[in-house]
Amino acid sequence: DIHDGVVQISVLPGQYGQVQLRNQSNLSDGLAGTLLAGLDGQVIATAPLERRLLLLSDLPGVQVNSTLAPGASLGASDLIVDVQPGSRFNGSIDVDNQGNRYTGRNRIGATLNINELAGIGDVATMRAFTSADGLNYGRLAYQGQAGLLRLGGAYTYMDYKLGKEFAVLDAKGTAKIASAYGSYPLIRSRSSNLYAQVSYDDKTFQDRTESTGSVNDKTARVWMLNLNGDAKDGWGGGGVSTYSITYTTGKIEIETPLALRLDQLTVKSNGHFNKLVFNAARVQSLGGETSLFGTLSGQAASKNLDVSEKMGIGGMGGVRAYPGGEAYGDQGYVLNLELRQNVTAFTAFPGQLQVLAFADTGSVKLNRDAWSAGENRRTLSGAGVGVTWTGANALVLKAYYAHKLGNAKATSAPDAAGRFWLQAVKYF
């Protein structure tokens, strides 16, 4: 407007008019509307819109696109959200040599996800792997969306039979776990995320030694409260940090009288326990195609733990110069550092090639409260090199060679100066 020769310009904040949902997927309109609710008539701002669209995009089996269009009133814009069907099935096939020496080092596994069975952002997951030499594992899980809550349940079964030097014992066992869990997104954005999760596990274990006729039955009922998240930043060239902390409380009940009596005289793991499990990791850009990756993980316990609640520090996910299953204890840590370099010189080479040099170290207290004479702590270290190749056909290959640092000997497998680790995963 012009008044007395003065031009008056009014600047109005943009507001949402209508939120139009164009849903072509199997997802229910009601659930999509719930995740998008609260925008009508509100001032257009990045954070509330980003949170809602990301939560909608997180649902399995859908693809989400959004646009703003002129609304029916001055200063209003309509939000148009298109929801298209995504992949109904996805999963992976994997092979590795991460298994235990006595139940089979080489393993093959597969994962299958079936998305949007009931239109509630749900997914049914089947996971199985075997060493074909003493270890079999299977897990069925189902989860879906209830408003902003993610709720699910799972059933896990595992059986093992010891071989090699222990074959004469004819030792075998089973583990069965029924789980229920729920999670809530406290923060959801492109730059940072934070989730809270509550889980409950009902576990049943049986270990048998047929050569002596001994049987050990035990159960565990365990509650877990977890906070996990991630954050992107521009510090030092940019990086991504991830973190997780889990408080666990539960009760172990040894049901076999002889095994219970032995536990009371030694480890004293039967009964209530608490532990705190933590993990923190960061990928830090060093400029160009070079980055530094570091991760610190570990746990602290309130008492001596059952073997099912202990942590190990060897293997491909720990100190790679030592076998999987090495150095199990009640509390300790593992620190991994990797200097990574993306190789771009071979332009004719398909996919992305990354080479790396790494160093690992870890220390674990075998029993929180020592109950026998002898060493109660083990510290392992190693260093090595590796390569990761990611193909355009969703095939990922990883190979590592790790060499021991120090004089600590492996006890869960024959000792060796170095170890090779291999893994191949095909996603579909």
Domains and CATH numbers, the chain: 2-85 (3.10.20.310), 89-178+256-275+289-427 (2.40.160.50)
Q: Can you give the pTM of this predicted structure?
A: 0.92
Q: Minimal CA–CA distance to 94: which of 308, 277, 316?
A: 316
Pairing status of strand 214-233 against strand 192-209: antiparallel
In whole angstroms, give the CA distance from residue 359 to residue 404.
10
Residues with Cβ within 8 Å of 308's Cβ and at least 6 positions away in sequence, in order, are: 175, 203, 205, 220, 252
Strand pairing report for 290-301 and 89-96: unpaired
Q: What angle do CA 371, 376, 379 make, to 5 degrees?
A: 165
Per-residue pLDDT of the chain (428 residues; tens, 9 = 90+): 676 777 777 666 788 888 999 999 999 999 999 999 998 888 888 899 999 999 999 999 999 999 999 988 877 899 999 999 999 999 999 999 999 999 999 999 999 999 999 999 999 999 999 998 999 999 999 999 999 999 999 999 999 999 999 999 999 999 999 999 999 999 999 999 999 999 999 999 999 999 999 999 999 999 999 999 999 999 999 999 999 999 999 999 999 999 999 999 999 999 999 999 999 999 999 999 999 999 999 999 999 999 999 999 999 999 999 999 899 999 999 999 999 999 987 766 788 999 999 999 999 999 999 999 889 999 999 999 999 999 988 999 999 999 999 999 999 999 999 999 999 999 99
